[in-house]
């Protein structure tokens, strides 16, 4: 490679602009950090719209009208069923397999049954239809696999329930309270999209080869599985479990910081002054804790959050409160990252569609640091 500016090396591609997008902005209006979906602030979206409206916004470019939302909701509900062959596969896959591995397989299998499976990769309308179906199907897939692993009978989707309530009902067998349903719905809204994070970048790279939308989503699911990305919410809960009780929190975090231990759920590659999603979910954690009459985990989390924020200058990210929120809802830790995925699929799909609509094959360069050019010696001389 030449000695020009193109040779600059950015570990982890930090700060490198690899795409232009009209989907999400994480710089905020003054460049200090924020989150907007197609120009709408996440704080406003979380307070005002449902996950279905958010998914429509990402896939179709703007928030829906009442009639558009009604039609979109009907399409999602009509797409909730998954093939019996996939359900049968869940019963054959060992229960010990990580749910994200099963979800990755699920998306691949769903591709074979999609009505638009033969559509060209660049067919915008077909890709939107595929995306809408996947939003509905992935939620069913996560819920069904959970029931199978626990040896419980499957609960069919309920068309009377919205996306958030239906999922919780399919997992637990209970229709959630209004407070729980709203909190879960908000968490889905907050997880729906986040610009060019690792899994979204993976999806766009896959799509840039003119592969299909399902293949790109499979790549994204595999990327999200990692504990430095989607799996961070699982690790955040394990931190709270290790502490165990509010009276242990102060001493535990002092010892952890003295050991220079990394506390999962804090810090963000982009948000240096705090993740706006974490602040929103923290409020919902408090309200759900009050509803169930147990604020123990809030009292454990608070001194840890305060110490890491003040001493390490690492504010919490969205994974820190979401771990507690899902625990309050009775959701097992194995579901945390799959829930992230079933929310984020709307954002992934929007990016895949945007990539295919204005495609250029992604082919970055690497700086070579191996040995210089050398000649091959005959075998007997090596």
pLDDT tens sequence across 92-121: 999 999 999 999 999 999 999 999 999 999
Catalytic residue among 214, 268, 327, 351: 268
Q: Quick check: is 45 in a domain?
A: yes
Tally the domains of the chain. 2
pLDDT of residue 1: 45
Return phi, psi of residue 293, to 5°.
Answer: 70, 30
Burial class (CB in 10 A: 0-12, 13-18, 19+), 48: exposed
Q: Quick check: is 207 in a domain?
A: yes
Contact 265, 233 (CB under 8 A): yes
User: Same domain, yes or no, for 204 and 311?
Assistant: no
User: Same domain, yes or no, for 301 and 157?
Assistant: no
User: Same domain, yes or no, for 30 and 134?
Assistant: yes
pLDDT of residue 15: 79
Q: How far apart are CA 25 and CA 9, in angstroms?
A: 24
Q: Quick check: is 192 in a domain?
A: yes
- Give the position of tokens 């959701």: 331
The two structure tokens encoding residue 104: 């990755």
User: Same domain, yes or no, for 137 and 254?
Assistant: no
- Give the position of tokens 């890709």: 127
User: Same domain, yes or no, for 193 and 239?
Assistant: no
159: left (phi over 0), alpha (psi -120 to 50) or beta: alpha
User: Same domain, yes or no, for 196 and 304?
Assistant: no
User: Same domain, yes or no, for 30 and 130?
Assistant: yes
Respond yes or no: is residue 268 known to be catalytic: yes
pLDDT of residue 24: 95
Q: How far apart are CA 156 and CA 317, in angstroms?
A: 34
Q: Quick check: is 10 in a domain?
A: no
The two structure tokens encoding residue 110: 């769903």
Q: Quick check: is 277 in a domain?
A: yes
- Its domain, for residue 248, covers 232-328
Helix axes 124-149, 336-357, angle to 10 degrees: 170
pLDDT of residue 6: 58
Q: Quick check: is 15 in a domain?
A: no
Q: How far apart are CA 378 and CA 76, in angstroms?
A: 65
User: Same domain, yes or no, for 163 and 214?
Assistant: yes
145: CATH? 1.10.580.10
Torsion, Cα 17 23 27 30, to 10 degrees, reads: 120
User: Same domain, yes or no, for 39 and 96?
Assistant: yes
Q: Quick check: is 18 in a domain?
A: no
Catalytic residue among 73, 185, 212, 319: 319
User: Same domain, yes or no, for 112 and 95?
Assistant: yes
User: Same domain, yes or no, for 103 and 216?
Assistant: yes
Q: Quick check: is 377 in a domain?
A: no
pLDDT of residue 32: 60
pTM over 0.85: yes
Respond yes or no: is residue 351 known to be catalytic: no
pLDDT of residue 13: 85
User: Same domain, yes or no, for 39 and 107?
Assistant: yes
Q: How far apart are CA 71 and CA 74, in angstroms?
A: 5
Residues facing 25 on adjacent strands: 36
Residue ranges, the chain, pLDDT below 50: 1-3
254: CATH? 1.10.230.10
């Amino acid at each position: 490679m030449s000695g020009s500016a193109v040779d600059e090396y950015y570990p982890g591609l930090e700060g490198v602009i690899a795409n232009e997008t009209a989907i999400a902005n994480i710089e905020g209006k003054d460049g200090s950090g924020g989150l907007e979906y197609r120009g709408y602030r996440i704080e406003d979206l979380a307070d005002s719209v449902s996950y279905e409206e958010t998914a429509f916004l990402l896939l179709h470019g703007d928030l829906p009208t009442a009639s558009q939302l009604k039609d979109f909701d009907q399409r999602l509900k009509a797409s909730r069923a998954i093939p019996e062959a996939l359900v049968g596969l869940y019963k054959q896959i060992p229960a010990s397999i990580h749910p994200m591995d099963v979800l990755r397989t699920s998306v691949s299998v769903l591709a074979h049954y999609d009505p638009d499976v033969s559509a060209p990769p660049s067919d915008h309308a077909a890709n939107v239809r595929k995306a809408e179906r996947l939003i509905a199907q992935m939620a069913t897939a996560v819920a069904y696999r959970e029931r199978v692993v626990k040896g419980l009978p499957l609960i069919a989707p309920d068309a009377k329930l919205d996306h958030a309530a239906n999922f919780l009902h399919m997992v637990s067998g209970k229709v959630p309270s209004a407070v729980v349903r709203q909190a879960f719905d908000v968490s889905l809204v907050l997880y729906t999209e986040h610009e060019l994070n690792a899994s979204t970048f993976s999806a766009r790279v896959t799509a840039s080869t003119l592969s299909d939308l399902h293949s790109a989503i499979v790549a994204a699911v595999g990327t999200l599985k990692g504990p430095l990305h989607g799996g961070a919410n699982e690790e955040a809960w394990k931190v709270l479990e290790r502490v165990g009780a509010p009276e242990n929190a102060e001493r535990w975090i002092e010892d952890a910081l003295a050991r220079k231990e990394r506390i999962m759920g804090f810090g963000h590659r982009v948000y240096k002054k705090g993740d706006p999603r974490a602040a929103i979910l923290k409020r919902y954690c408090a309200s759900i804790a009050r509803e169930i009459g147990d604020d123990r985990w809030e009292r454990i989390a608070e001194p840890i959050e305060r110490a890491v924020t003040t001493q390490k200058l690492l504010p919490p990210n969205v994974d820190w409160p979401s771990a507690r929120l899902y625990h309050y809802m009775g959701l097992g830790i194995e579901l945390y990252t799959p829930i992230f995925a079933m929310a984020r699929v709307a954002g992934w799909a929007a990016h895949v569609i945007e990539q295919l609509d204005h495609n250029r094959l992604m082919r970055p360069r690497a700086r070579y640091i191996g040995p210089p050019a050398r000649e091959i010696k005959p075998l007997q001389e090596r």
